[in-house]
Amino acid sequence: MSSSFERFYILVRRIVGLTLMLLFLVILGLFLKASYDVAGYSKQARTQQKLTQVAGADLSTEELRLTDFNVMAGSKFLYASLQPTASFAGSLSSVNYIKSNSRNILFFNTVDKKAHWLFPNNDQVIVNVRFITYPAGGVR
């Protein structure tokens, strides 16, 4: 009688062991798939959409690129500089330390969703930009 219990106990142990091994393999497979997906996404070339027409201006004639939009404090506008593509080559990893050689500035109104350029063309070089804003209480 004890031999039948031993055989049954061995069978149960094998089934539990195989189940645990199968569960471990499934979890390992899910972890490896998630790791592969994350690594594949980070290695994927981040292609940026080539903008040729922005707010009525043709950007395809020169190698120009818009910077990230920034908030103008105390206003409903965002702004982005239009700079030569070559100036982005020297940017640091987390800091956009770029020589100020903007050609134009694009203003975007966040309320009516319209954009307009500071200048009608991109022939000038903007050396410095400074926005003057009023305090929250108004003009003093």
pLDDT tens digits, one per residue of 65-77? 888 888 887 788 8
Domain ranges of the chain: 1-47, 53-117
Residue 109, pLDDT above cutoff 80: yes
Where are any strands of DSSP class E within 29-103?
53-54, 57-58, 64-66, 70-71, 77-84
Q: Would you say 66 and 50 are in contact if contact means Cβ atoms under 8 Å apart?
A: no
Distance CA 99, CA 46 (A): 24
Whole-structure pTM value: 0.50
Q: What's the mean pLDDT in 46-57?
A: 58
Mean predicted confidence (pLDDT) in 46-54: 55
Model confidence at 86: pLDDT above 80: no
